[in-house]
Amino acid sequence: MKRRDFLKSAGLAAAAGAATTGLAAPAIAQGVRQWNMVTAWPRNLPGPGVAAQMLADRIEALSGGRITVRLHAAGELVPGRGVFDAVSEGTAELYHAVPAYWGSKSRGIELFGSQPFGLLADEQVGWLAHGGGQELYDEIYARFGLKPFLCGNSGPQFAGWFRNEINSVDDLRGLRYRTTGIASAMASRIGMAVQAMSGPEMFQALQAGTLDAGEFIGPWSDSALGVQQVAKNYYWPGVGEPSSAEECAINMAVYEDLPDDLKQAVAYACESLYNPVWTEYTTKHAMALRELVSQHGVVVRQLPEDVIVAMGNAAGEVIAELREDSDELVRRIVESYLAYRNLMVEYKTYADNGMMNARALDYSYPS
């Protein structure tokens, strides 16, 4: 989607949201459950805004029309960062967002979305499906009356958009920087002035000069916001978020009221979107990055190695503190995550890393 089309769509959605005065109580008419989904995203934002609508449509399709889902984008019913509470309290039936936003509820929740120097997209879903992660995910969300599912992933993110070049750790100290989740704690430890804000707010702050740098999602989604117009230095690797999982959470009472076949339909709607969403991000990010460089003067730069090491040390300190958290459940989540991470680090040295290193060697191959 072109930026002008996205902004036009977002403006129409905001106008519609301003006219919304409230929702009727959840209804079941002629066997059809009418659900409201609230999201953390502008309507039709390339990436998560589109994925949220895909999820709403898939729930309707796989339920055979027995569940209808009306999507309310960020600000239309509740603010983007208010969707967790809205669904927990029963204002809406389900939300689409990312676990990285809910650290104020429990630091353990953040591990299910992204971890600095942590799991890649396939490893994240692998931990939940085969490493015991889903049971812990369910347990911590149950505290808030929610049933959670992963339903997508943005893949590796970038370190972000910087107004000025970064040559050393000293260049980061005092830098006003937008990020989220555990990456916020990592960045704070090396002296960055971390600020929490939405993607559109990040663009506005960079444009106004009240923000020096920031990361949101990746080339595809970020370029729709126009960030390339106000910051030309795009740094990698995004060690703060090696992947970022998207989630759907459903009000527990609403979920438990479903018959078994509809529970399965909802679960499969979420789970079946993980790969399509992830691979769309990967493809569209690659295409967008080419365009950003060739048409918009963006310079892709690598973080210096000493900066990456400093970030790694800071991330290690944050995870070590979480490992000693006063909440026993958080400690169990950290141990489960670390066990799976260690398994993948050991294996992928030979598998993915080996193949990527081989592919990068100098040999003759058609381009």
State residue 151's pLDDT score.
98
Q: Per-residue pLDDT tens for 167-188?
A: 999 999 999 999 999 999 999 9
Q: How many CB atoms lie within 10 A of CB 329?
A: 14
Q: Is 31 exposed, middle or buried (0-12, 13-18, 19+ CB in 10 A)?
A: exposed
For 10-18, what is the mean pLDDT? 41
pLDDT in tens, 271-322: 999 999 999 999 999 999 999 999 999 999 999 999 999 999 999 999 999 9
One-letter identity of residue 240: G
pLDDT score, position 27:
57
pLDDT tens profile 186-238: 999 999 999 999 999 999 999 999 999 999 999 999 999 999 999 999 999 99
pLDDT in tens, 82-122: 999 999 999 999 999 999 999 999 999 999 999 999 999 99
Residue 361 — φ and ψ, nearest 5°? -70, 165
3-state secondary structure of 147: strand
Instruction: Give the model's pLDDT for residue 14.
Output: 42
What mean pLDDT is predicted for residues 235-248?
Answer: 98
pLDDT at 23 over 50: no
Q: Which pLDDT band holds residue 30 (cuts at 50, 70, 90)? A: confident
Can you spell out the DSSP letters for 269-285? HHHTTHHHHHHHHHHHH
Mean pLDDT of 314-341: 98
Q: Which residues contact 170 (CB under 8 A, 6 or more apart)?
A: none
- The structure's pTM equals 0.91
Token pair in block for residue 159: 């370190």
Question: In the numeric block, which tokens belong to residue 197?
Answer: 């804000």
Question: Is 2's pLDDT higher than 70?
Answer: no
Q: Supply 303's token pair.
A: 């973080």
Which of the four pLDDT bands, split at 50, 70 and 90, describes residue 24?
A: very low
220, 166 contact by CB (below 8 A): no
| Greatest alpha-carbon span in the chain | 65
Segment 40-48 mean pLDDT: 96
Which of residues 174 and 9 earns the better pLDDT score? Answer: 174
**Residue 31 has what pLDDT?**
85
Pairwise pLDDT comparison (31 vs 198), residue with the higher score: 198
The per-residue pLDDT for 8 is 45
Residue whose C-alpha is closest to residue 214's, from 163, 154, 165: 163
Q: What is the mean pLDDT of the chain?
A: 93
Cα separation, 52 vs 15, in Å, equals 20
- Distances in Å between the Cα of 364 and the Cα atoms of 231, 297, 355 are 36, 30, 16
* pLDDT at 53 exceeding the cut of 70: yes
Confidence at residue 20, expressed as pLDDT on a 0 to 100 scale: 39
Is the sign of the CA dihedral 334, 340, 343, 346 positive or negative? negative
State the CB neighbour count (10 A cutoff) for residue 252.
19
Q: State how far the Cα of 184 lies from the Cα of 167, in Å rounded to an integer.
A: 21
Share of the chain above pLDDT 90, in %: 91
What is the chain's Cα-based Rg?
Answer: 20
Cα distance between the two ends of the chain: 28
| Phi/psi at 24 (5° precision) | -70, 160
**What does the DSSP assignment read for 127-145?**
HHHHSSHHHHHHHHHHTTT
State the burial class of residue 214 (Cβ atoms within 10 Å of its Cβ: 0-12, 13-18, 19+): buried
CA atoms of 217 and 220, how far apart (whole Å): 8
Residues of the chain with pLDDT > 70: what percent? 92
Integer Cα distance of 270 and 115 in angstroms? 21
Write down all domains in the chain, each with its CATH number in brackets: 3-154+244-282 (3.40.190.170), 160-241+296-351 (3.40.190.10)
**What's the CA angle centered on 219, arms 215 and 224, to 5 degrees?**
95
